[in-house]
Amino acid sequence: MTDTDAGTVTRSGSPDSALDRVADFYGAYIDAVADGTDDLSEQLRAHYLTEDLRRRLAAWEEANHADGVLRAQDVPTAWEVRYHDSGAGHLFTTVTLTWGSGPDAGHTVLAVQSDLATKLVSDIEDGAAGS
């Protein structure tokens, strides 16, 4: 969506929705990383991610020299969050990150798990949810 399209798309959300919280996290996190606001990105991780996931991301980042939330060293140009499934106290979403623009844009697909009781993101893996 461009700024000129602002009147054509309505965005909404609820703090009670684990799906909305995943979308809110990725939107705010990507903005913070793109703006170079390290403190904010760490604060967002602390607010939206489980402590266990934060520990696992730190290990992944050390091994891969990249941002574990984005699975990359760069910042995506767009993001999309889709519901995949829920069960056993978890919500499973598919997050698609877009890199670049136009027909040559690349995409990374992540499977993101949230705990329904806390609405905190508890896992991020490469690949679509349920694949």
Domains of the chain: 17-126 (3.10.450.50)
| pLDDT, the chain, mean | 92
> In angstroms, rounded to a whole number, what is the distance separating the alpha carbons of residues 109 and 129?
9
- Is residue 52 over pLDDT 80? yes
Confidence of residue 11 (pLDDT cuts 50, 70, 90): confident
Q: What percentage of the chain carries pLDDT values higher than 90?
A: 82
* For range 116-130, the mean pLDDT: 90
At residue 38, the pLDDT reads 79
At residue 9, the pLDDT reads 67
- Is residue 4 over pLDDT 60? no
